[in-house]
């Protein structure tokens, strides 16, 4: 059987390790070992662990950023409710996977500061999805499909906050299962939010 390219193996190994032991504890040395390559080979493709983390987010997790860009460019292709439901569904899945990866950073303030500085340098961070949903909602506002006085930033924060909280709050329960199935949760959150911002 033909071996996958080194870059693919590195991203897959990083995803598995970051999910399993967290971003703070997944070292580039361990990632390279799990990928079956040298640490030098890892750095051939990625300038830092943070750059690798951003790649994992973009290539191995639900494509939230891509969806938000598409909806902002063409908001009228589906109903606002259908769009918000899909945003909530993908965001819940995204946070479900990123929470265990990033949570370990909060136990190590020095590492967290270094990670935050690297994210700023790369022009990304956890604020990006909120900005993306806000941009989408402003596009809907311009199209007259949501109330002209709706606070789009607050609405974006509420929607993504609910999705993020779902990943965090129920992880500690036995079985870690939220009370609503994902699709039901996404539709319910979207409907509830839409009632507050509809024109």
Q: Is the pLDDT of residue 90 over 80?
A: yes
| Residue 118 predicted with pLDDT over 70 | yes
**Over 80: is that where the pLDDT of 92 sits?**
yes
Ordered by start, the domain boundaries in the chain are 1-60, 63-197
Phi, psi of 149 (to 5 degrees): -100, 5
Burial code of 70-100, b = ≥16 C-beta within 10 A, e = fewer?
A: ebbeebeeeebeebbbbbbbbbbbbbbbbeb
Residues 154-182: tens digit of each pLDDT: 999 999 999 999 988 887 778 878 889 99
Mean pLDDT of the chain: 90
What are the pLDDT digits (tens) for 28-58?
A: 999 999 999 999 999 999 998 888 988 888 8
Contact 94, 103 (CB under 8 A): no
Q: What is the pLDDT confidence band of residue 85, given thresholds at 50, 70 and 90?
A: very high
Q: Which of 118, 99, 43 lies closest to 35, judged by CA?
A: 43
The answer, yes or no, to whether residue 72 has pLDDT greater than 70, is yes
Residue 109's pLDDT is what?
83
CATH class of 1-60: mainly alpha
User: pTM score, two decimals?
Assistant: 0.82
Asked if pLDDT for residue 62 goes beyond 80, the answer is no
Note the Cα 113 to chain centre separation in Å.
Answer: 20
Name the CATH superfamily housing domain 63-197.
Tetracycline Repressor, domain 2 (1.10.357.10)
Helical ranges in the chain per DSSP H: 6-21, 28-35, 39-45, 49-60, 64-73, 80-102, 109-122, 128-142, 152-169, 182-197
HSE (side-chain half, CA atoms, 13 Å) at 27: 5
pLDDT surpassing 90 at residue 117 = no
Neighbouring residues of 75: CB distance < 8 A, sequence distance ≥ 6 = 83, 136, 139, 140, 143, 145
pLDDT of 105 reads 75
- Judge whether 83 and 89 are in contact, CB under 8 Å: no
In a 3-state reduction of DSSP, which class is residue 178? Answer: coil
pLDDT for residue 19 is more than 80: yes
Report the percent of the chain where pLDDT is more than 90.
Answer: 55
Which pLDDT band, with edges at 50, 70 and 90, does 1 fall under?
A: low
Tell which wins on pLDDT, 160 or 19.
Answer: 160
What is the DSSP secondary structure assignment for residue 125, as one 8-state letter?
A: -
pLDDT of residue 122: 78
First to last CA, the chain: 58
How far is residue 46's CA from residue 7's CA, in Å, rounded to a whole number? 9
Token digits of residue 30? 């361990």
Please tell me the least confidently modeled range out of 36-50, 60-74, 121-135.
60-74
Mean pLDDT of 13-27: 89
């Amino acid at each position: 059987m033909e071996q996958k390219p080194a870059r693919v193996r590195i991203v897959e190994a990083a995803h598995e390790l970051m999910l399993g032991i967290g971003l703070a504890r997944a070292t580039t040395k361990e990632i390279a070992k799990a990928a079956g390559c040298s640490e030098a080979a890892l750095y051939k493709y990625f300038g830092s662990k943070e750059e690798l983390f951003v790649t994992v987010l973009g290539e191995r997790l639900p494509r939230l950023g891509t969806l938000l860009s598409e909806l902002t460019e063409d908001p009228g292709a589906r109903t606002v409710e259908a769009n918000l439901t899909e945003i909530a569904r993908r965001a819940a899945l995204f946070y479900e996977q990123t929470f265990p990866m990033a949570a370990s950073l909060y136990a190590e303030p020095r590492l967290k500061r270094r990670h935050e500085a690297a994210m700023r340098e790369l022009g990304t961070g956890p604020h990006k999805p909120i900005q993306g949903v806000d941009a989408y909602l402003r596009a809907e506002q311009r199209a007259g499909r949501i109330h002209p006085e709706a606070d789009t930033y607050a609405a974006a924060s509420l929607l993504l906050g609910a999705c993020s909280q779902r990943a965090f709050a129920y992880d500690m329960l036995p079985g870690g299962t939220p009370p609503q199935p994902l699709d039901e949760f996404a539709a319910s959150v979207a409907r509830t939010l839409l009632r507050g911002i509809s024109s």
